[in-house]
Amino acid sequence: QMHAHQTQMESEIQNLREALQERQQVEIEKDALIRQLQEEAEGSRKVLDDLKVKNNKLKDGRRIKELEALASESKQRLELGSREIEALKDRLETAEASTKQYEQKEKNLHDEMLKEVEDAIQI
């Protein structure tokens, strides 16, 4: 009976050893899987960071294009404004010339009327 008990104990010890080895194997596989998942997560983070950088570059590119469009529009407005100012200068010069002509005509008429009055007084 002692031998049967010892055999049973040895069998249980062997079962415990196998269970312990199985547990150790599971722990090893678990650790390997955790490392693999961490590496994949790190890879995913790098891809995400790269995508963020590319997205920011695209946004910057769009902003640059928008700013270039605004600059072009502003330049066109300035050119138009400059042409309008030149046109106003021309109109002002024309108006000043016309004013001088009218003033000269008015002076001539006044001088003529004064001469006529002087001539009438002399008669």
The DSSP string of 11-76 is HHHHHHHHHHHHHHHHHHHHHHHHHHHHHHHHHHHHHHHHHHHHHHHHHHHHHHHHHHHHHHHHHH
> What is the Cα–Cα distance from 113 to 119, expressed in whole angstroms?
10
pLDDT in tens, 8-49: 888 999 999 999 999 999 999 999 999 999 999 999 999 999
pLDDT value of residue 107: 92
